[in-house]
Amino acid sequence: MFLFLIVLAQAAFLLVARQTAAAAVDAAAREAARPGASLVDERRELIGNIVATVPGAMNPRADVTIDGRNARASVAFEWRPPGPDLVPITMTVDAESPLVVLP
């Protein structure tokens, strides 16, 4: 029973971490889609956001690119849940946003 509660709590923390990371990556893609955005700065900010808002995120690797008509952002990191570390988890999150075109 106790092991079930640990797994249930870690699954809940995993969902929260995934949603938080998805929000940060989506925001980075939208920011990179603006005219004049610096991809290097957006990448640096994305890594900072992941470290600051996702508890247990270790060694984040991010990429922000523009290809054709879309800005893409992705991040991958090892996630260490609170409590016992039952299995290693590598989380990858991607987002895409269309480029902003001035009228």
Where residue 9 falls among pLDDT bands split at 50, 70, 90?
Answer: confident
The count of structural domains within the chain is 1
Q: Is residue 103 part of a domain?
A: no
40-54 b/e with 16+ CB inside 10 Å = b? eebbebbbebbeeeb
Q: Which residues contact 47 (CB under 8 A, 6 or more apart)?
A: 60, 62, 75
64 has pLDDT over 90: yes
Give the predicted TM-score (pTM) of the model.
Answer: 0.88
Instruction: Report whether pLDDT(95) > 90.
Output: yes
Residue 58 placed within a domain:
yes
What's the pLDDT at 12? 87
d(CA 25, CA 72): 9
In a domain, 80, yes or no: yes
Range of the domain at 44: 2-98
Site of tokens 């409590």:
83
Instruction: Evaluate whether residue 92 is within a structural domain.
Output: yes
pLDDT digits (tens, 9 = 90+) for 24-53: 999 999 999 999 999 999 999 999 999 999
**Within-domain flag for 16:** yes
Q: What is the CATH number of the domain that holds 70?
A: 3.10.450
